[in-house]
Amino acid sequence: MGGLGVGNILHKNLILLFKWWWRFSESDNTLWKRIIKSVHDIKGDKASMDTFRNIKTGTWSSLTCNEPDIVKVRSILEDGMVLRVGDCSSIQFWHDRWCEAGVLKSIFPRLFAISLQKNSEISHMGEWAGSTWCWKLDWRRPLYDWESEEVRVLHQIIAQNGPKRYREDGLLWKNAEVAAYPTKYIKDKFNESLGSSLPKNILSIVWQKFIPPRAKLTLWLANKEKLKTADYLVEKGIIAPQNAWCPFCRSELESNSHILFTCRFAWRSWMEILKWWGLSASLHSKFPDFSTQWLGLVNVREHKDIWALTLGCVIWSLWYERNKIKFESKTPNLQNFVTSLKIRIGIWAKEIMGSSTYTPNVIYNADTFILQT
């Protein structure tokens, strides 16, 4: 078939269809939007996968399905759309994606469950004291210790992004002057992506699908190299350099790249996981390269999902283990760590994929099971 085949027309229609994604975010309180929201029981006022989760039928459901082409267009769009936080009267605190980190109810499901402001706009979740915005979050009951810790992290995330006075909320396209649906940009990006099988932000798709909500924040920070490791704290003058050793090896300065990849504890853990799968590779030491390379190591279609989940699970577990050692004086033990990793991968797989193919027991014995297929 020539270059002007059916494929092109379908792609064009697809890109036009996604204009609704943009329009939904753009228009406040219009009749059609109120109807869509009520028909599909949508919470949230801005388009995102979280907002449209409930849509199962009709044209709108094709916007949220997992067809490869649709995933590509959607990820280009989600990657470029930016909510400009203004007076916050049209953005819902828990349901809309107004923080770079993601939708807050997905990152903090347990806090969402005890919030007394589940459907509140941001503008109703605090007040102005002079020119300073003061958050006021209300909970159904007193917080447990671990919940207070989560609230602290939540405040860190929202601190930089509070309401701005005398400015309306808006919808922008990243790096563009004009606030309009960028048909041409999406078309070009989409055509670029046809040559490669992985869209640019494959990671965010992986995280959306295969990571339990409670682990998403850590993964997101790791992806941006923003985990608060000792090098950061030294730089900020919070701790002295002599207290900045990596808790695993105690012989090098702790950094994001060190703790997750180059430390011998981390490195040996990755090698054990590769061995478990009958693979070997020399791995990169920076998150984006590392993960792209990792995801490319397994090409059997049935195993790609579990392999993506494994990446997220090892990263999260390394950080979790690091905290246990640092704050609860646990002693590092590679063999125990790897064993608990394999079990955790099984637990996550069961929780997220819900299938009986990957029970914790099957995963634990993966060396036999994977090699047979």
Quick one: 249 or 353, whose CB is closer to Zn ion?
A: 249
- Yes or no: say if 45 and 90 are a contact pair by the CB < 8 Å rule: yes
Please, which residue, 48 or 257, has the CB nearer to Zn ion? 257
Measured from the CB atom, the residue of 181 and 248 that comes closer to Zn ion is 248
Q: Which is nearer to Zn ion, 263 or 298 (CB)?
A: 263
Three-state secondary structure readout of 146-175: HHHHHHHHHHHHHHCCCCCCCCCCEEEECC
Segment lying near Zn ion (by CB under 5 A), choices 25-33, 119-127, 247-255, 284-292: 247-255
We find the least distance from the C-beta atom of residue 318 to Zn ion, in angstroms, to be 10
Of 79 and 252, CB closest to Zn ion:
252
Options 178-186, 243-251, 285-293, 305-313: segment touching Zn ion (CB under 5 A): 243-251
Ranges within 146-165 binding Zn ion (CB under 5 A): none
Q: With beta carbons less than 8 A apart as the criterion, state whether 47 and 21 touch.
A: yes
Q: Where are the alpha helices (DSSP H) in the chain?
A: 6-17, 19-26, 31-40, 68-80, 104-107, 109-114, 145-159, 183-194, 202-210, 213-223, 230-235, 256-257, 264-276, 287-297, 301-328, 334-353, 360-364, 366-372
User: Between residue 288 and residue 327, which ones bind Zn ion under the rule CB under 5 A?
Assistant: none
By CB under 5 A, is residue 263 in contact with Zn ion?
Answer: yes
Indicate the residue among 249 and 347 with the shorter CB distance to Zn ion. 249
In the region spanning residues 271 to 290, those forming contacts with Zn ion, defined by CB under 5 A, are none
Question: What letter represents residue 256's amino acid?
Answer: N
Q: CA–CA distance from 176 to each of 7, 78, 185 (Å)?
A: 28, 15, 10
Q: Give how far the C-alpha of residue 190 lies from the chain's centroid of Cα atoms, to the nearest Å.
A: 22
The interaxial angle of helices 6-17 and 183-194, nearest 10 deg, is: 130
Choices 90-98, 142-150, 214-222, 246-254 (CB under 5 A): range interacting with Zn ion: 246-254
Interface pick for Zn ion out of 17, 153, 249, 283 (rule CB under 5 A):
249
Residue 259: CB minimum distance to Zn ion, A: 7
| Residues at the site binding Zn ion, with contacts judged by CB under 5 A | 246, 248-249, 263
